[in-house]
Amino acid sequence: MHLQQRILVTGGAGFLGSHLCERLLAQGADVLCADNFFTGTRNNIEHLLDHKHFELTRHDVTFPLYVEVDEIYNLACPASPIHYQRDPVQTTKTSVHGAINMLGLAKRVKAKILQASTSEVYGDPNVHPQPEQYWGHVNPVGPRSCYDEGKRCAETLFFDYWRQHKLRIKVARIFNTYGPRMHPNDGRVVSNFIIQALLGRDLTVYGDGTQTRSFCYVDDLIDGLMKLMATKDQITGPINIGNPIEFSMLELAATVIEMTGSRSRVVHRSLPENDPRQRRPDISRAQEVLSWTPRTQLKEGLIRTIAYFEKLLKENDVRAILATDQVT
């Protein structure tokens, strides 16, 4: 008889997944991390490899997985636009086939399953801030569609397994999250600006920089996911998890320059196609249902993230970090 909670984290070697594995182990669970290392790295979980309750398996979620677990956090999917647009067909397969395989597993072993969905299901929203009831404004045939529509279809599958097979599901819509272990070269704005500022290079603001995002620190995000997993069976979500404080990219650039004491300047580059104008979660549902609210102020989170990248740049050859894409 196995009394300890056995928890599967797909995408566990990625940015969010590695933090989640760490927190679940600290809580006393047995953690199985399944990852195909498309964007994740062994470095992210190296410190966990000797933990007696941690197990790592190289696995692609587009193929079935046969394990015995009590809970599944389905995080497997590249999250940055550069990475998910590299092999868009594989991105859709990861979201859709991955969801089918993990839901099938949950059904067989009667596990509770949480989906890492995304604010991208709202597309370029014309309702602001975005509540969960909003159905979104998504281009089905653009360069971001493999990710947006893949995640939307995964949500559909979760809710159909819930209605049809009575599965215990939880769907979290994650908004932009940052923190240590973000990829140094995945093109996301927080990591880009910090590295550019630390190297004294120009900060590349796309478009006029008035577009907005709301940034959640990773520890707060993981708290939210774990709280959602712990809710009663009738709570399915979708629930927005993110920080509702909104910043323009120009404000973010100025903050990073100030905090790093850098002499870098801002330069403007063209805005990527279908780049959402604004994004901010309405988190009333998370506050009410999960009693969750993000606690980390942007500056506090940036201090820790800047320290992480400073160390990374000191310990590694900068050119190697920036030239070699971590995608294998």
CA distance 226 to 214: 21
Question: Interface with ligand NAD includes 123 (CB under 6 A)?
Answer: no
- Residues in Cβ contact with 201 at an 8 Å cutoff, skipping those fewer than 6 apart: 264
Q: Hey, what are 129's tokens?
A: 């801030």
Residue 285: CB minimum distance to ligand NAD, A: 17
147 belongs to the catalytic site: yes
Marked catalytic residue, from 147, 161, 178, 217: 147
Number of residues that bind ligand UDP (CB under 6 A): 16
Question: Interface with ligand UDP includes 206 (CB under 6 A)?
Answer: yes
In the numeric block, the tokens 């550069």 are attached to 82
Judge contact between 54 and 9, C-beta under 8 A: no
Q: Hey, what are 184's tokens?
A: 């140094």
Query: Of 171, 249, 256, 257, which lies in the binding site for ligand UDP, with binding defined by CB under 6 A?
Result: 249
Question: Interface with ligand NAD includes 79 (CB under 6 A)?
Answer: yes
b or e along 251-264 (b: 16 or more beta carbons within 10 Å of the residue's beta carbon)? ebbbbbbebbebeb
Which range, of 59-67, 163-171, 184-192, 287-295, touches ligand UDP by CB under 6 A? 184-192
Query: Of 182, 195, 205, 218, which lies in the binding site for ligand UDP, with binding defined by CB under 6 A?
Result: 205
In the numeric block, the tokens 């993110």 are attached to 242
Question: Interface with ligand UDP includes 308 (CB under 6 A)?
Answer: no
Residue 314: half-sphere exposure toward Cβ, Cα within 13 Å: 6
Looking only at residues 161 through 200 of this chain, which bind ligand NAD when binding is defined by CB under 6 A?
174, 176-177
**Torsions phi, psi of 103, nearest 5?**
-70, -35
Looking only at residues 63 through 102 of this chain, which bind ligand UDP when binding is defined by CB under 6 A?
80-81
CA distance 321 to 101: 34
CB closer to ligand UDP out of 90 and 185: 185
In the numeric block, the tokens 């900060």 are attached to 203
Residue 298: CB minimum distance to ligand NAD, A: 14
CB closer to ligand UDP out of 162 and 238: 238
Q: Residue 127: left if φ>0, alpha if ψ -120 to 50, beta else—which one?
A: beta
DSSP output for 123-154: BS-SSSSB-TT---B--TTSTTHHHHHHHHHH
CB closer to ligand UDP out of 101 and 192: 192
The conformation of residue 201, written as its DSSP 8-state character, comes to: P
Question: Interface with ligand NAD includes 228 (CB under 6 A)?
Answer: no
CB closer to ligand NAD out of 13 and 48: 13
Residue 12: CB minimum distance to ligand UDP, A: 21
CA distance 159 to 161: 5
Looking only at residues 1 through 40 of this chain, which bind ligand NAD when binding is defined by CB under 6 A?
10-11, 13-17, 35-40
Judge contact between 34 and 66, C-beta under 8 A: no
Which range, of 8-16, 32-40, 216-224, 270-278, touches ligand UDP by CB under 6 A? 270-278
Which residues sit at the interface with ligand NAD, rule CB under 6 A? 10-11, 13-17, 35-40, 60-62, 75-79, 94, 98, 116, 118, 174, 176-177
Q: Using CB under 6 A as the criterion, which residues of the chain lie in contact with ligand UDP when the complex forms?
A: 80-81, 176, 187-189, 192, 204-206, 211, 213, 249, 271-272, 275
Catalytic residues: 147
